[in-house]
């Protein structure tokens, strides 16, 4: 189907549409990057991460990787990156936060579909983003309804692997079926790359992610420092850049950042004043360039101390517990890691998300929770009530902010975020 597009030359209207798309997309990405860079106390070693985002979204370049390595576009956190690396490809996470692509996807999807999926469809439709265009395969786990329909829509356009996620993950049979999915996924990968899954390649890939996870755990420990050593918008840029970075490069960049942060901590050069309210951001994914909520929190005098989102450490936080050192044993460990500890609300029972948030509140001394709901993102919206009840018990204020992929609501959001920060500041300690 792609060949068709290449044979038919674009008419001038399409060319103009692409030009406008490029211009608008670049402007939004650059504006967000500028706002991130304008925040005080930016560590110098954060630059490589911001440059990655700049290269993908502003200069519209493909992900940097060794020559000849194909990319596999992944959606949601359940696709094990270890398998893709083991079979000679590079994963890129393609869930999108682009307002410009949303504008195009909006015309070809139902009104109430979520903006994230609309933006992905927009990128696919405009066919002008190398990181999307050049993917040799798309891997879409069937999580929420919009992702399910996205999978079907993508399947018609290009090679797509659809992974069934066991919504009832705690049953052994469900887990068994997901292991089967991973075997099938491995076959599909082999068709694309010509490289089979072997014990050695998978073990090497697991070591490679383990290195990255070691740096991530150092980073998490540094993030927990009180007063704060690194702003939330910076941390979220680090995790967003992971989506488009060759993993060993990201590990190196993060190691440098950790070193700098450790030095800053030694010299007591903390990022912000101690008395600002410490806020946890959770809910629907926050994907670059849609950084309006983190930037609002930090520009209105709040400290974005931690986040619990799928673009954050979820999916990468837990290492696979490999006990049986065979290919099958490793695939089972990866399948377990991808589902059982996952706090994605598409699982039927997700009590572990509440536990996780309670843990974060303790570890990061959180004083208030901002719950981000993307319009149409029902699964996250469902879990708000439960979280609210739990926070009420803990005496932690929580607010739900609903938003879409545009900038029209920034002022309405600003007053809510500001009032929430004041609520914590003026409210005194209610616990």
35/188 with CB nearer another protein: 35
Give every CB contact of residue 183 below 8 A, 6+ residues apart in sequence: 331
Query: What is the C-alpha separation between 182 and 176, in angstroms, rounded?
Result: 10
248/427 with CB nearer another protein: 427
238/300 with CB nearer another protein: 300
Segment interacting with another protein, rule: CB under 8 A, options 27-35, 165-173, 270-278, 416-424: 416-424
Least Å distance, CB 358 to another protein, is 20
Q: Does residue 125 touch another protein according to CB under 8 A?
A: no
Is 246 in a helix, a strand, or coil? coil
Stretch 375-414 residues interacting with another protein (CB under 8 A): 397, 399, 402, 408-409, 412
Q: Which of 30, 190, 363, 418 binds another protein (CB under 8 A)?
A: 418
3/408 with CB nearer another protein: 408
60/375 with CB nearer another protein: 375
Q: Give the CB-side neighbour count of residue 306, counting CA atoms within 13 A.
A: 27
CA-based end-to-end distance of the chain:
60
Give every CB contact of residue 47 below 8 A, 6+ residues apart in sequence: none
Q: Does residue 368 touch another protein according to CB under 8 A?
A: no
* Burial call 152-161: b when 16+ CB within 10 Å, e when fewer: ebbeeebbbb
Asked whether the beta carbons of 268 and 376 are under 8 A apart, the reply is: no
Least Å distance, CB 300 to another protein, is 9
Q: 395: buried, middle or exposed (CB in 10 Å: 19+, 13-18, 0-12)?
A: exposed
Q: Count of residues binding another protein (CB under 8 A)?
A: 16
128/423 with CB nearer another protein: 423
Least Å distance, CB 19 to another protein, is 31
Q: Does residue 273 touch another protein according to CB under 8 A?
A: no
Q: 186-190: long-range contacts (C-beta < 8 A, 24 or more apart)? A: 186/83, 186/87, 186/331, 188/137, 188/159, 188/161, 189/72, 189/83, 189/84, 189/87, 189/89, 189/137, 189/161, 190/87
Least Å distance, CB 429 to another protein, is 11
Segment interacting with another protein, rule: CB under 8 A, options 34-42, 114-122, 333-341, 420-428: 420-428
CB atoms within 10 A of CB 350: 19
Residue 62 region by backbone torsions, left for phi larger than 0, else alpha for psi between -120 and 50, else beta: beta
Asked whether the beta carbons of 349 and 311 are under 8 A apart, the reply is: no
Least Å distance, CB 98 to another protein, is 22
166/368 with CB nearer another protein: 368
Q: Does residue 415 touch another protein according to CB under 8 A?
A: yes
Least Å distance, CB 418 to another protein, is 5
Q: How many residues does the chain have?
A: 431
Residues that bind another protein (CB under 8 A): 397, 399, 402, 408-409, 412, 415-416, 418-419, 422-423, 426-428, 430
């Amino acid at each position: 189907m792609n060949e068709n597009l290449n044979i038919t030359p674009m008419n001038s209207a399409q060319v103009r549409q692409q030009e406008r798309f490029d211009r608008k997309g670049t402007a939004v990405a650059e504006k967000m990057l500028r706002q991130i860079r304008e925040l005080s106390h930016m560590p110098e070693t954060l630059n490589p991460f911001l440059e990655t985002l700049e290269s993908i979204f502003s200069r519209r370049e493909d992900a940097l990787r060794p020559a000849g390595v194909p990319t596999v576009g992944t959606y949601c956190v359940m696709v094990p990156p270890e398998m893709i690396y083991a079979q000679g490809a590079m994963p890129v996470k393609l869930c999108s936060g682009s307002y410009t692509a949303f504008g195009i996807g909006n015309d070809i999807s139902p009104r109430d579909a979520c903006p994230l999926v609309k933006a992905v469809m927009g990128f696919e439709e405009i066919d002008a983003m190398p990181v999307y265009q050049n993917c040799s395969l798309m891997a879409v786990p069937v999580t929420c309804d919009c992702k399910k329909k996205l999978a079907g829509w993508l399947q018609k356009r290009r090679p797509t692997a659809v992974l069934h996620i066991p919504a009832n993950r705690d049953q052994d049979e469900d887990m068994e079926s997901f292991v089967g999915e991973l075997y099938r996924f491995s076959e599909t990968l082999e068709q694309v790359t010509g490289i089979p899954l072997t014990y050695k390649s998978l073990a090497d890939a697991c070591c490679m992610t383990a290195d990255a996870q070691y740096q991530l755990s150092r980073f998490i420990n540094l993030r927990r420092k009180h007063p704060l050593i690194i702003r939330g918008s910076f941390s979220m840029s680090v995790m967003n850049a992971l989506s488009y970075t060759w993993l060993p490069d990201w590990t190196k960049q993060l190691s440098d950042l950790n070193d700098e942060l450790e030095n800053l901590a030694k010299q007591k050069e903390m990022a912000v004043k101690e008395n600002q309210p410490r806020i946890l951001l959770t809910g629907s994914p926050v994907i670059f360039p849609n950084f309006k909520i983190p930037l609002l929190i930090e520009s209105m005098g709040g400290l974005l101390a931690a986040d619990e989102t799928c673009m954050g450490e979820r999916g990468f936080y837990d290492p696979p517990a490999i006990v049986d050192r065979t290919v099958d044993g490793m695939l089972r460990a990866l399948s377990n890691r991808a589902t059982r500890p996952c706090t994605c609300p598409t699982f039927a029972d997700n009590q572990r998300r509440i536990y996780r948030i309670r843990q974060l509140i303790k570890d990061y001394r959180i004083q208030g929770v901002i719950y981000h709901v993307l319009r149409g993102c029902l699964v996250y919206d469902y879990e708000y009530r439960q979280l609210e009840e739990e926070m009420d018990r803990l005496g932690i204020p929580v607010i739900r902010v609903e938003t879409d992929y545009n900038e029209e609501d920034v002022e309405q959001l600003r007053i809510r975020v500001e009032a929430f920060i004041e609520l914590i500041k003026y409210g005194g300690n209610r616990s």
